[in-house]
Amino acid sequence: MYTQALNTTEAEDRNLEDAGRAARFQQRIDAEQRIEPNDWMPAAYRKTLTRQISQHAHSEIVGMLPEGNWITRAPTLRRKAALLAKVQDECGHGLYLYAAAETLGSSREELVDQLLSGKAKYSSIFNYPTLTWADIGAIGWLVDGAAIMNQIPLCRCSYGPYARAMIRVCKEESFHQRQGYEIMLTLAKGSAEQKAMAQDALNRWWWPCLMMFGPPDGASQHSDTSTMWKIKRFSNDELRQKFVDATVPQAHYLGLTPPDAELKYNEATGHWDYGTIDWDEFKQVLAGNGPCNRDRLAARLKAHEEGAWVREAAAAYADKRKSKMAA
C-alpha cells in the first residue's frame, strides 16, 4: 500500500515536471530561441522533426535521379558542368539533412532503410519523368523555385541544426533556380522547336509543382502543431500563392503560358488566382502510383547496394584508426 502511494506521488511529480518542461519549452519557442540537440523537447516535437527532416533528406537524394539522367546528354560542356554541380549540391543537401536528423537520435542507416523499404516518403515531384532537355530547365526554374519558397522560412525554424542547414541549402537552391531559368530563357528565345519544347516542359511541370506545397489548408494533418512549434511559418496555401505570384511574371517574360485557363491577376487582392489542383493525381503519386515511383526506388536500391563496399571500407578504416588511437 505504502509503496503504491509513493509511486503515485512520484508519477505525479514526474507529470508535473514534464508539464513544467513543456511550458518552458513553448516559452523558449515563443521567444524565438533556438532548440538545440541536447535541450529537452517533447517527444512529439522530436518525432515531427525527424519525419520532416528525413523526408526532406530523401527528397534531395531521390531528386538527383531525374536530372542525373541528363548529365551525359547536356547540350554543351558549360551546361554539363553546371548540371553536374547542381546534382552534386543536391547530394550535399541530403547529407546535411541526414546529419541534422541524426542529432534527434535516429541513425542514418535507420533513415535510409525507411526510404529503401518504401516506408518513408519523399517529395512527390521526383516521380515525374524528364523527357527532354527543357525538363532540366523547368526543374531548376520551377522545382527549385518551389523548394526555395518552402525552405526560406525554414532558415528560421525553431530547431537549430535544421535552420542552420537551410541557410546554405537556400543559397545553393537560388543558383539552381537561375541555371534552370537561364536554360528556359535560351530555349524560349531559340528556334520555334526549342520554344515549343520549353512550353511543353512548363505544361507538364506546372501542376505537379503547385502540388509540391502539399494539401490545401485544413486538409494537412501536421500543420497546427508545426505552426505552434515554429517549424512551419506559412501555410501550404500561402506558400503556393507566393510561388504562383513570383512565377507567373517569369513565365510571361519567357513568352510562355502556364497551362491554366483560369489563371488571372486579381486586382482586388494583388494576387494571381489559379484553377483547381487535381488532388487525386497527388494522392496517386503519394500512394506509389506516379509515372516513375517504382523506377526511382529501384534506382536508389541499386545505388545503395553498389555502394556497400564504400561503406564497408569507410567503416574498416574508422575501426583501424580507433584501434591505433587506443594503442
- Of residues 67, 135, 173, 260, which one binds Fe ion by CB under 5 A? 173
Decide: is 90 part of the binding site for Fe ion (CB under 5 A).
yes
Least distance (Å) between residue 120 CB and Fe ion: 17
Strand partners for 35: 159
The least distance separating Fe ion from the CB of residue 315, rounded to whole angstroms, comes to 27
Contact characters 192-231, Fe ion, x per CB under 5 A: ----------------------------------------
CB of 210 to Fe ion, least distance (A): 18
Task: Name the 3-class secondary structure at 57.
Answer: helix
Q: Which helix (DSSP H) or strand (DSSP E) does residue 271 occupy?
A: strand 271-273
Residues 116-145 touching Fe ion, rule: CB under 5 A, are 144
Q: CB–CB of 179/82 below 8 Å? A: yes
SS3 for 161-221 is HHHHHHHHHHHHHHHHHHHHHHHHHHHHCCCHHHHHHHHHHHHHHHHHHHHCCCCCCCCCC
Residue 6's alpha-carbon distances to 11, 14, 15, in angstroms, are 9, 12, 14
How many CA atoms, within 13 angstroms, populate the side-chain half-sphere of residue 202? 26
Q: Does 260 bind Fe ion (CB under 5 A)?
A: no
Residue among 154 and 297 whose Cβ is closer to Fe ion: 154
Q: To the nearest whole angstrom, how small is the minimum distance from the Cβ of residue 49 to Fe ion?
A: 18
Q: How far apart are the first and last CA of the chain?
A: 55
Question: Nearest distance from residue 56's CB to Fe ion, in Å?
Answer: 9
- Least separation in angstroms between residue 176's CB and Fe ion is 4
At 143, list the grid cell.
522545382
- Toward Fe ion, which CB reaches closer, 102 or 144? 144
Contact residue for Fe ion among 56, 176, 230, 300 (CB under 5 A):
176
In the numeric block, the cell 524528364 is attached to: 130
Looking at beta carbons only, is 79 or 176 nearer to Fe ion? 176
Minimum CB separation of residue 147 from Fe ion in Å reads 6
Q: Is 56 one of the binding residues for Fe ion (CB under 5 A)?
A: no
3 exposure class (CB count in 10 Å sphere: 0-12, 13-18, 19+):
exposed
CB of 233 to Fe ion, least distance (A): 19
Interatomic CA distance for residues 161 and 17, integer angstroms: 26
CA distances from 320 to 152, 324, 325 (A): 42, 6, 9
Find the angle CA(35)-CA(36)-CA(37) to the nearest 5 degrees.
130
CB nearer to Fe ion: give 16 or 85.
Answer: 85
Q: Which is nearer to Fe ion, 144 or 260 (CB)?
A: 144
Residue (93 or 300) nearer to Fe ion, CB: 93
Site for Fe ion in 61-80 (CB under 5 A): none
State which residue, 41 or 201, has the beta carbon closest to Fe ion: 201
Binding residue for Fe ion (CB under 5 A) from 56, 93, 195, 232?
93
Closer residue to Fe ion (CB): 176 or 242:
176
Could you tell me how many residues of this chain bind Fe ion (CB under 5 A)?
6
Distance CA(63)–CA(86), nearest Å, equals 11
Q: Give the cell for residue 236.
A: 501550404
Q: What is the contact surface with Fe ion in residues (CB under 5 A)?
A: 60, 90, 93, 144, 173, 176
